[in-house]
Amino acid sequence: MKRLLCMALLSAAAAHAAPLEWRGISLSSAEWGEKLPFPGVYGKDYVYPSVASTAYYQSRGMNLMRVGFRWERLQPALMGELDAAELARLREFVDGTTARGLHVLLDPHNYAAYKEVHIGRPEVPYAAFADFWRRLALQFKDNPRVQFGLVNEPRNMPTETWAQAAQAAVDAIRKTGATNLITLPGNGYTGAWSWFESTWYGTPNAEVMGRVRDPLEHMVYEVHQYFDKDGSGTHAECVSPEIGAERLKRFTAWLRQNKRRALLAELGGGANAVCEQAVRGALQHLQDNADVWTGWLWWAGGPTWGDYFLSLEPNTDGRDKPQMRWLAPFLPVRP
C-alpha cells in the first residue's frame, strides 16, 4: 500500500512540473548488421526507421528522435565522399521527421571506431573523424531541428584520446558555420554512474571531458544510464526502486559545479515493478534538476526489435508497451 501511495505521489509531482525540453527515444535499426559481411544489404541486414513510425511517439508527447547509423556505410572511405545512397536514406528520415515538427539527434553508432579501429590510431587519425563531421554538418547545418551526437559510447581508448578527437570534431562542425546543438559523450560507454570511475577505462571523464569546448557554447554532455546490476541495460531486472536517482546524483552535482548541462540519451528498464520505480525516480530526478538536465531518451524503438524487453514500439494491435505508461507523467498532457 505504501509503495502504491509513493508511486501516486511521484506521478502527481511530475504532472505538476513542466516537462523537460527534450523527451524522446533512440530509434535503432540503421546501425545493425555490422557483424555480417559489411556493409550488408539494405532492407535485409539493416533498415532506417520510417518517418511514419515517428507519429506514434509524437502523439505520446515525445519531440526528439535519436537515429543510429554506421559511419562506415555513410563514408565508405576515410576522408572520402559520403555515399549517395546511404545519405539519401538518412536524409529521407531526417527531412521527413523534422518536417513533422520533431527534432532528430544524429547518432553515428560506432563506439569511436571506424571498422573497429579506434579514432586516434594511425589508421583512423583525428583528422578523419573531423572530416566526417565536417561533411555531415554541411549536409544538415541549415536544419535547426537537427542535433549532432558526436558518436555512440566511446570505449577501449584513453579518455584523453577521446577528448582530443571530440574537440577536433566540434571545431570542424563549427568551421562549417553550423550552429546546431552538439551532444558530447564521455569515455567508457559514457555512463553517468561511471563519470568518476578510475579503475577500468582510464582517466575519469570528470577530469578530462570538461576540457572540450564549443566556441558557441551550444553543446551538452550526453550520458547513458541503466539500472540493472552492471549498468549495461542487458538485464530485465533493476537493482532497487531507488537506483534510478542514486546513479545520477553525483553526475548531477558535477554538472552544477562545472556549470554544464546534459542529456540522458539512453535509459530503460524491464517491464516490472522495481524497474518502473527506478525509471520514474530517475526521470523525477532529472525534472527536479532541470537547471542542468535538458531531457531524456528511452532505449529503444525501431522496426526490427521484435519482443526485445526494452522496445517501446507499440504492440501489433496498437497498444502501448507497459513502459510507456511510466513515461506519461513526464510527457506533455495529451488533449
- Which pTM does this prediction carry? 0.94
Write the DSSP symbol of residue 142: T
Give per-residue pLDDT as tens, 45-66.
999 999 999 999 999 999 999 9
> CB neighbours (10 Å) of residue 217?
7
* Sequence spans of domains, the chain: 2-330
The pLDDT of residue 12 is above 50: no
Section 330-334 average pLDDT = 86
| Burial status of residue 257 (CB atoms within 10 A of its CB: 0-12, 13-18, 19 or more) | exposed
Q: What is the mean pLDDT of the chain?
A: 94
- Distance, in Å, from the CA atom of 213 to the CA atom of 221, rounded to the nearest integer, reads 11
In the predicted structure, residue 291 carries a pLDDT above the cut 50: yes
Query: Which pLDDT does position 318 carry in this prediction?
Result: 87
Mean pLDDT across 23-27 = 98
The pLDDT confidence band at residue 37, using thresholds 50, 70 and 90, is confident
Average pLDDT over residues 132-160: 98
What is the reported pLDDT for 35? 82
Return the minimum-mean-pLDDT range out of 5-19, 162-176, 213-227, 287-301. 5-19
The arithmetic mean of pLDDT across residues 232-246, rounded, is: 98
Distance CA 134, CA 178 (A): 9
Active-site annotation, residues:
153, 266
DSSP 143-212: -TTEEEE--S---SS-HHHHHHHHHHHHHHHHHTT----EEEE-SGGGBSTTTT--SSSSS-HHHHGGG-
Tell me: pLDDT of 279 over 70: yes
| pLDDT for residue 116 is more than 90 | yes
Least confident of 175-179, 197-201, 212-216, 232-236: 197-201
For residue 15, pLDDT beyond 50: no
pLDDT at 101 over 90: yes
Nearest Cα neighbor of 67 from 159, 156, 136 is 136
CATH superfamily of 2-330: Glycosidases (3.20.20.80)
pLDDT band at 17 (very low <50, low <70, confident <90, very high): confident
Percentage of the chain beyond pLDDT 70 is 95
Please name the helix (run of DSSP H) or strand (run of DSSP E) that holds residue 65, with its range, or none: strand 64-69
| Exposure on the CB side of residue 28, measured as CA atoms within 13 A | 21
Query: What interhelical angle do 159-175 and 126-140 show, nearest 10?
Result: 40
Question: Which pLDDT band holds residue 201 (cuts at 50, 70, 90)?
Answer: very high
